[in-house]
Structure 1
Amino acid sequence: MPKRVDHAQRRAHIIDALVRVAAAEGLHAVTMRAVAAEAGMSPNLVQYYFETKAQLLHAALERLEQQSHLRWSARLDGLSRPVSAHAFVEAFLAEALPTDEASRAFHLVWTSYAVLAMTDPELAAQPFVAGPDRLERQLTGVLEQAQREGAVDRKRDAAAEAAHLLSLSHGLGTSVLVGQRTADAAMGVLRTHVDQLFARPTDPSPSANGAAGHAG
């Protein structure tokens, strides 16, 4: 009786091979033949599951996002209950930093994909920004809830703050990836901005007004 093939498992095996190649040599080094060699398969078999390199790259992004979501869920489960908006946002941003092999691969592949998509119409045609858009909406919703609860100043634009925090985390993630700073240093920068965002607004004191007037 012929052995049944688990096609989903085989697709995942191919995608994992692509991620290993990309993490070791960069996404520019990824070819169908290189992925096949890493997966221990023939190029024809890889092409049976993914007709083009663009299809394979997009499938890799989707799998990496699913794995990132699972890591985020595990991180969230580890937070003390009830989870404050402050703790949620800090953990949310921490998950975006490349602090281990899995998160480093995710950051490297996604950033490389975005760069390649700027000059490759087939890659650009894929909706690869859906994940970041979803995260931005989710973070905006958390900040809006925090505003309703009085944890964040209502005068702030929640959507703009979410975009700012995510842009900051992506930039810091890249700086960690290239060795500019450590993951702990990057997290320190993020934590400072989150603390400022959740700082209770205070009325300016007479001394503060005087200092401001003197400075002017």
Structure 2
Amino acid sequence: MPRTVDHEVRRSQLADALARVAARDGLHAVSMRSVAAEAGVSLRLVQYYFDSKEHLLIGAMRRLEEQSNERWRARLSRGTTTAPPREVLEAFLMEALPTDGPSLDFYRVSTAFTGLALTDPALAAEPLAGGVARLRDAVLSALRSAISNGELSADADPDTEADALVSLCNGLSTAVAIGHHTPERAIEVARYHLARLFQKP
């Protein structure tokens, strides 16, 4: 009897293979053929699941985003909706910074995706292109909760603070990725900023 193929598992395997190639060799090295070789499958199989490199990249980004969200939730003691605001923000910072293999892979592939989306209308139209906006919404919600429960000053501007945290992560992430900061230094800077944010006058 032939084995039943789990198509979602197969898609995930191919997306993971693309992420490994992109993280190791750069996005320019990604092709349908290189992903097939990395996954140990035939080119025809890759083409069966993804009809273009663009769709393969989108699949990989969706997979990486799901994994990142899972890691973010795993860092929280009670889940993203009930954890204390400061814990949510701390978990966001620790997951957003490329301090280990999975988070560095996500940063490299998502940065490459963003770069391509600047000149590719099809990629720009993908919901994934708004990933930063979704992260900002989660950060903004935590900041508003912190203000309402008195953890932050009532004078704090949650929109400005959310933009500052996201921008801080983006800058630190780039510095880590190109070797200007160690992951440890990036974490130290991020926690310093968070501590100052929650230090009410």
**TM-score if structure 2 supplies the norm length?**
0.92
Matched, 1:76 2:76: yes
| Cα drift, residue 16 of structure 1 | 0.9
Q: Which residue of 2 aligns with 1:125?
A: 125
Counterpart residue number, 2:21: 21
Task: Determine the structure 2 residue equivalent to 1:154.
Answer: 154
Q: Which is worse superposed, 150-159 or 173-182?
A: 150-159
> How many residues are matched?
199
Deviations 1:75-113 (A, max 9, x none): 11399xx95432331222111111111111001100111
Q: Is the 8 A contact 2:98 2:173 kept in 1?
A: yes
The answer for unaligned runs of 5 or more in structure 2 is: none
> Cα distance, 1:131 vs. partner?
2.7
Q: After superposition, what is the alpha-carbon deviation per residue over 1:114-162, rounded to whole angstroms, capped at 9, x for unaligned?
A: 1122223332232223332222111111111111111112222202211
Query: 1:102, 1:175 → 2: CA distance?
Result: 17
Runs of 4+ in 1 over 6 A off after TM superposition: none
Q: How far apart are the structure 1 equivalents of 2:149 and 2:78?
A: 23
How far apart, in 2, do the equivalents of 1:47 and 1:69 lie? Answer: 28
One-letter amino acid matched to 1:39? A
Distance 1:97 1:103 in 2: 7
Residue pairs, 1:49-64, within 5 angstroms: 49-64=49-64
How is 1:1-216 mapped onto 2 (pairs within 5 angstroms)?
1-77=1-77, 83-201=83-201
Residue in structure 2 matched with residue 208 of structure 1 by the alignment: none
**Secondary structure, aligned partner of 1:76:** coil
What per-residue deviation string (whole Å, max 9, x for no partner) do you get for residues 9-59 of structure 1? 111111111011001101121111111111122222111101111111111
SS of match in other structure, 2:96: coil
For 1:128, what is the secondary structure of its paired residue? helix
Worse overlay, 84-93 or 32-41: 84-93
**Separation in 2, partners of 1:120, 1:113:** 10
CA distance in 1 between partners of 2:119 and 2:29 (Å): 16
Seq. identity, %? 48
- Over aligned residue pairs, what C-alpha RMSD do you find? 1.8
SS of the equivalent of 1:95 reads helix
Amino acid in structure 1 at the alignment position of 2:190: L
- Does the 8 A contact of 2:117 with 2:129 survive in 1? no
Any unmatched runs of 5+ in structure 1? 202-216
Find the structure with the greater CA-based Rg. Answer: 1
TM-score, length-scaled by structure 1: 0.86
For the 8 Å contact 2:76–2:87, the answer to whether it is kept is no
3-state SS, counterpart of residue 76 of structure 2: helix
